[in-house]
């Protein structure tokens, strides 16, 4: 089976090449281009494509892939909000994903961002490199006994909540499908979305992006959050309406934001733009706040997670080749 790998990063190519040795009859060509309607033509002559979160798998792209005889799509991500699943089903194009890869990797990154922002480590690091050993302006807050809200209590949300329970925080949970046993285990409790938003000192978002979670934090509710709240988002950018976040930060209502994802990240993230004039006014404004910390969607980026992503993707391909649904049939989303 001949497969084209879009949007390749070096670290992914290394992880896939290492695990590819265990699989026969899979040939992968790595390309730097992102997949979208304009680049779909690159898939001509291949049997399948491997894609990531910033590839654009809309109905037009899917239709083109089908016309080039692509037989399956393999996502090397858990989230699939970038795929028009309805169109894929209509075109009978199977789409596979990697539903879980080291959820702790993302949860630990969320905790890392929170600790860094809260204790102003990003500021202290730069100061000390300039031989400025002053502590002025570096006062943080103790996390013990703080109310931490977790929105989306799936694999990553649970890993995050478990770590924060270990810090001695009070854990508020919100999910459309509550897991009371889990809440009991970490001595947390499920509350309504509005209670979580109003009560918590820190809110960490771990739900998928869908019609219900798009702009979950928005211009209408941002000023109803607790004054001084710190927002952590490692899920998907559009869950937070950026203009609302900026308004909340400007009015000093929002105490800080730690973001691994950004609403309009697809034009920026995973690429070096350091020599360009950035045209995106919103990210420029966000980066101007001392209490905003941004990483470029690197929550998943651990050696263990990369190994799992490549292993499961290759198993998905092998399953598809054999037309055997096990063991990863749950990974098929269309
Ligand atoms: P999961 O499927 O295990 O958990 C998601 C949870 O969100 C489920 O419990 C679900 O019931 C809940 N949920 C769904 N709709 C909701 C709503 N409207 N309100 C509240 N909760 C809702 O997914 P997992 O593995 O925990 O991943 C969560 C998200 O994290 C992914 O969808 C993806 O967007 C993001 N992610 C980010 C990564 C990064 O590198 N920053 C890496 C991997 C995932």
Q: How would you write the pLDDT of the chain (334 residues) with one tens digit per residue?
A: 999 999 999 999 999 999 999 998 999 999 999 999 999 999 999 999 999 999 999 999 999 999 999 999 999 999 899 999 999 999 999 999 999 889 999 999 999 999 999 999 999 999 999 999 999 999 999 999 999 999 999 999 999 999 999 999 999 999 999 999 999 999 999 999 999 999 999 999 999 999 999 999 999 999 999 999 999 999 999 999 999 999 999 999 999 999 999 999 998 999 999 999 999 999 999 999 999 999 999 999 999 999 999 999 999 999 999 876 655 567 888 8
Pocket of ligand 1 contains residue 301 by CB under 6 Å: no
How much of the chain is in helix, strand and coil states, percent to nearest 5? 40, 15, 45
Q: Which pLDDT belongs to residue 324?
A: 64
Whether 209 contacts 240, CB under 8 Å: no
Question: How many angstroms separate the CA atoms of 189 and 41, rounded?
Answer: 50
Q: Which pLDDT belongs to residue 100?
A: 86
Pocket of ligand 1 contains residue 112 by CB under 6 Å: no
CA nearest ligand 1 atom 8, residue: 154
First-to-last CA distance in the chain? 20
Pocket of ligand 1 contains residue 94 by CB under 6 Å: no
Question: How many angstroms separate the CA atoms of 158 and 110, rounded?
Answer: 12
Based on the residue annotation, tell me whether 215 is a catalytic residue of this protein: no
Residue written as token pair 């239709």: 63
Based on the residue annotation, tell me whether 265 is a catalytic residue of this protein: yes
CA nearest ligand 1 atom 30, residue: 235
pTM for the structure as a whole: 0.94
Element holding 205 (H helix, E strand): strand 202-205
Structure tokens at 3: 């497969």
Q: Which pLDDT belongs to residue 325?
A: 62
State the maximum Cα–Cα separation within the chain, in Å, rounded to a whole number: 64
Strands (E), the chain: 2-5, 27-30, 48-51, 72-75, 95-96, 147-151, 170-174, 189-190, 202-205, 229-233, 254-259, 292-294
Beta bridge partners of 217: 240
Whether 196 contacts 174, CB under 8 Å: yes
Pocket of ligand 1 contains residue 188 by CB under 6 Å: no
Q: Which of 236, 241, 263, 308 is catalytic?
A: 236
Beta bridge partners of 304: none
* Paired sense of beta strands 72-75 and 48-51, if any: parallel
Q: Which pLDDT belongs to residue 327?
A: 57
Cα dihedral value 35, 215, 120, 200, nearest 10: -140
Question: How many angstroms separate the CA atoms of 245 and 75, rounded?
Answer: 30
Structure tokens at 129: 């490199």
């Amino acid at each position: 089976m001949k497969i084209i790998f879009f949007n390749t990063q070096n670290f992914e190519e290394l992880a896939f090449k290492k695990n590819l040795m265990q699989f026969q009859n899979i040939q992968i060509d790595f390309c730097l281009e992102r997949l979208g309607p304009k680049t779909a033509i690159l898939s001509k002559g291949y049997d399948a494509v491997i894609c990531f979160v910033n590839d654009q798998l809309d109905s037009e792209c899917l239709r083109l892939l089908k016309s080039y005889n692509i037989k399956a799509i393999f996502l090397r991500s858990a989230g699939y909000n970038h795929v028009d699943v309805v169109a894929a089903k209509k075109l009978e194009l199977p789409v596979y994903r990697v539903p879980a890869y080291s959820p702790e990797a993302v949860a630990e990154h969320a905790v890392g961002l929170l600790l860094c922002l809260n204790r102003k480590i990003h500021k202290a690091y730069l100061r000390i490199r300039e031989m400025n050993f002053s502590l002025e302006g570096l006062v943080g807050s103790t996390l013990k006994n703080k109310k931490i809200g977790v929105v989306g209590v799936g694999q990553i949300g649970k890993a995050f909540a478990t770590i924060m329970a270990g810090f001695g925080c009070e854990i508020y949970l919100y999910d459309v499908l509550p897991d009371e046993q889990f809440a009991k285990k970490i001595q947390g409790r499920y509350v309504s979305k509005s209670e979580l938003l109003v009560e918590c000192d820190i809110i960490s978002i771990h739900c998928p992006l869908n019609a219900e979670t798009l702009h979950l934090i928005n211009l209408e509710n941002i000023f109803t959050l607790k004054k001084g709240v710190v927002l952590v988002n490692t899920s998907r950018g559009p869950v937070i309406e950026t203009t609302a976040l900026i308004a909340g930060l400007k009015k000093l209502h929002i105490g800080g934001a730690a973001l691994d994802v950004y609403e309009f990240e697809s034009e920026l993230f995973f690429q070096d733009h350091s020599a360009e004039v950035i045209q995106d006014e919103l990210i420029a404004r966000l980066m101007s706040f001392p209490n905003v910390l941004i990483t470029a969607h690197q929550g998943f980026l651990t050696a263990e997670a990369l190994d799992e992503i490549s292993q499961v993707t290759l198993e998905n391909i092998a399953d598809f080749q054999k037309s055997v649904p096990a063991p990863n049939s749950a990974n098929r989303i269309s």
